[in-house]
Amino acid sequence: MRIGIVGGGAVGLLYAFQLSKVFTVTLYVKRDEALQTIKNQGITISNNDQKKETRNVNVMKWESDVPLKDDLYIVATKQYGLSEILPVLEKCTKDQSILFLQNGMSHIDMLAHISHAEILLGIVEHGVKKNNDCTIMWTGKGRTKLAGYPETQADLHASSFINKWRDTIGLDFPIEVCEDFYEMMMEKLLVNAIINPLTAIFDVRNGELLTNPYFQKCMKQLYNEINFLVQVEKREEVWNHICSICEKTADNISSMKRDINEGRQTEVDAILGFVINLAKKQGKSVPLTEFIYEAVKGLQNNASS
């Protein structure tokens, strides 16, 4: 099976590295510098034990006329980068599949433009930091969760791709199939909506949101405002899940904090912006969420100027 991974960020490099162990993988990148670096040096991954491993991976430049020859495309770009990529992916046929790994949920509205290819949605629970164009630090091992979109898709449990992934590299790089894409993504959205913007605003690592009682109180206040997105009987369970993720990734720097620190655009529109739009549709007032959204936008504005 031929897999194309679109995006040379931390997630794209991680998936290219891992999946190339068992599949024919091509990594698609946008910049010439990244293309040459990966061609010359491969992808190097290190973990918290300082163990390093390097793999050579086929790499190509992603362009509007790139030939779509792969069986499955894994889109590992940031949410705001999708507008450049979707016009190309719309040319995929019914024999091809596309897996989207974005944070937030606003990209779901864009999927109507893809009329032929099978669509999968996924969430990434790994912690990964990009050091340079060809080197990443795998800071936390988690899972990849997948679901079909819409829910009437073929049974993913029977997928040869998923079963081969699970049987070969699944122990070190786990994969889990979920039945309901909306529930799967909403759970991740709530984690991102609380941990990412608050760590960016307070300029702290994930774990400090729990160890500092005042930050934890802010977490709880924000959750209480947006937990209308969760069924009443599951609200305590989801809150405990958010705290558990925060604890498991205590030493990690959230992607939003890193984006602010490095002067990049954040995914706050895809995360908190999506929550605010849902609140408006349901007639809910979310002033704290709106305040935090504007605060992150302000930090982003300062960082990029």
Instruction: Kindly list the catalytic residues.
Output: 188
The DSSP letter of residue 270 is I
Which amino acid type is present at position 139? T
CA dihedral of residues 184, 253, 301, 8 (deg, nearest 10): -70
Tell me the chain's radius of gyration from C-alpha atoms. 19
Q: How far apart are CA 206 and CA 176, in angstroms?
A: 24
* 47 burial via Cβ count (<10 Å: 0-12, 13-18, 19+): middle
Q: Are 44 and 52 in contact (CB under 8 A)?
A: yes
Q: Indicate the length of the chain as a whole number.
A: 305
CA distance 256 to 193: 10
State the alpha helices, DSSP H only, in the chain: 10-19, 32-41, 82-89, 160-168, 181-202, 208-211, 213-226, 235-248, 255-261, 268, 274-281, 287-304
Neighbouring residues of 42: CB distance < 8 A, sequence distance ≥ 6: 54, 55, 56, 57, 134
Give the largest Cα separation in the chain, rounded: 54
The structure tokens listed for 2 are: 């031929």
Coil/strand/helix, residue 50:
coil
Cis amide bond preceding 87, omega within 30 = no
In the numeric block, which tokens belong to residue 277? 């739009």
CB-CB contact of 103 with 270 (8 Å): yes
